[in-house]
Amino acid sequence: MEPLSQHGPAQFSLLHVSDTHLLGAGKKLYTVIDAEERLVELLHRVRTSEHDVRAVVFTGDLADLGEPDAYERLRDAVEPVVQQMGASLIWVMGNHDERPAFSEVLLRQPGSTDPLDAVYDIDGLRLIVLDTSVPGYHHGELRPGQLEWLGDLLATPAPLGSLVALHHPPIPTPVEIMGVLELQDQQALWDVVEGSDVRGILGGHLHYSTHTSYRGVPVSVAAALCYNLDLVATEGTALRGVHSAHTGSLVSIYPDQVVFSELPAQELEEVFLRSSEGVEQVRQMSLAERHEVLSKKTSDYNTAERKRESGS
Ligand SMILES: [Fe+2]
Ligand SMILES: [Fe+2]
- Confidence bin at 99 (pLDDT 50/70/90): very high
**pLDDT at position 218:** 98
In this structure, are residues 133 and 166 in contact, taking their beta carbons and an 8 Å threshold? no
CA of 38 to the centre of ligand 2 (A): 19
Residues 6+ apart with CB under 8 A from 234: none
pLDDT score at 236? 87
Measured in Å, residue 173 CA sits from the centre of ligand 1 at: 14
pLDDT exceeds 70 at position 292: yes
Task: Determine the distance separating the centroid of ligand 1 and the alpha carbon of 166, expressed in angstroms.
Answer: 12
Residue 157 has pLDDT above 90, yes or no: yes
Q: Which 3 state secondary structure label does DSSP give 131?
A: coil
**How many angstroms is it from 239 CA to the middle of ligand 1?**
13
Q: Which ligand is nearest to the CA of 21?
A: 1
Q: How far is the CA of 229 from the centre of ligand 1 (A)?
A: 11
Kindly write down the DSSP assignment for every residue of 26-70, as one continuous string.
Answer: GPPBTTTB-HHHHHHHHHHHHHTSS--EEEEEEES--BTT--HHH
Cα 47 to middle of ligand 2, angstroms: 27
Secondary structure class of 142 (helix, strand, coil) = coil
Q: Which one of the ligands is nearest to 132 CA?
A: 2
Ligand 1: distance of its center to the CA of 110 in Å?
Answer: 25
Task: Give the C-alpha separation, 146 to 142, whole Å.
Answer: 6
Q: Which ligand is nearest to the CA of 229?
A: 1
Query: What are 16-37's pLDDT values in tens digits?
Result: 999 999 999 999 999 999 999 9
Query: Distance from the CA of 59 to the center of ligand 2, in angstroms?
Result: 9
**Which residue ranges form the domains of the chain, and what is each CATH number?**
12-264 (3.60.21.10), 277-310 (no CATH)
Ligand 1 midpoint to CA 266 (Å): 20
Ligand nearest to the CA of 169: 2
Number of the ligand closest to the Cα of 168? 2
Amino acid at 60: G
pLDDT at 245 over 70: no
Calculate the CA 91 to chain-centre distance.
12
Q: Whose atoms come closest to the Cα of 29: which ligand?
A: 1
Measuring CA to CA, which residue among 49, 18, 50 is closest to residue 35?
A: 18
**Which ligand minimizes its atom distance to the CA of 178?**
2
Q: If pLDDT is split at 50, 70 and 90, which confidence band does 141 have?
A: very high
Kindly list the protein residues that place their beta carbon closer than 5 angstroms to ligand 1, a single-atom ion: 19, 61
- pLDDT tens digits for 59-95? 999 999 999 999 999 999 999 999 999 999 999 999 9
What's the 205 CA to ligand 1 centre distance in angstroms?
4
Q: How far does CA 230 lie from the centroid of its chain?
A: 19
The tens digit of pLDDT for each residue in 73-82 reads 999 999 999 9
Instruction: Tell me the per-residue pLDDT of 32-45, one tens digit each, with 9 for 90 and over.
Output: 999 999 999 999 99
When the pLDDT of each residue in the chain is averaged and rounded to a whole number, the result is 95
pLDDT at 97: 98
**C-beta neighbour count of 35 within 10 angstroms:** 25
- Write the DSSP assignment of 238-257 as a string of letters: S--EES---EEEEEEE-SS-
Q: pTM for this structure? A: 0.96
So what's the pLDDT on residue 274? 87
